Structure 1
Amino acid sequence: MALRELTLGGVLLSPMLLYALLALLLTGALRLGLQRAGLARWIWHEALFDCALYVCVLAGLMAVLATW
């Protein structure tokens, strides 16, 4: 999926919207996995960690999917 606009009912949408939603879902899954594995107790500031994890996942998605 390249960085081209998507047309939905005549409205152009940025592919960044899809990447951001996918990154949000992946971040939630990773966070749940960390909690179930017992690693979440080592996180000092949860909100800061969640934000940083989201940015890292979004950057990784952009790097992988934007080149297809």
Structure 2
Amino acid sequence: MPREFALFGVLLPTLLPLFILSIVLQTVLDRVFGWLGVYRMVWHPSLARLCIFVAIFGALSLSLYK
């Protein structure tokens, strides 16, 4: 996959759509975990949310560049 792509004449990095997809996936997982009550069992819910986002974004990035 190319390192950048053109969108209406503007070069965008390939990681941008992955970042947006990571935000969407993290939002869905956040709602599911909130509904299941997972965040009541963790010490710091905001830190858990950040870690989930970093893990999703890292996995998507590694799948792109591997």
Q: Fold conserved (TM > 0.5)? A: yes
Identity %: 27
Task: Kindly provide the amino acid, as one letter, of the partner of residue 9 in structure 1.
Answer: F
Secondary structure of the 1:7 match is strand
**Greater relative CO, 1 or 2 (CA 8 Å, sep 6+):** 1
The runs of at least 4 aligned residues of structure 1 exceeding 2 Å deviation read: none
Supply the distance in 2 between the matched residues of 1:10 and 1:41 (Cα, whole angstroms). Answer: 47
* 1:7 aligned partner: 6
* 2:16 aligned partner: 17
1:26 aligns with 2:25: yes
How many residue pairs are counted as aligned between the two chains?
66
Task: Kindly provide the amino acid, as one letter, of the partner of residue 53 in structure 2.
Answer: Y
Over residues 33-61 of structure 1, what are the superposed CA-to-partner deviations in whole Å (9 max), with x where a residue is unaligned? 11112222112112211111110000111
Unaligned runs of 5+ in 1: none
Normalised by the length of structure 2, the TM-score is: 0.85
RMSD, matched Cα: 1.6
Unaligned runs of 5+ in 2: none
Normalised by the length of structure 1, the TM-score is: 0.83
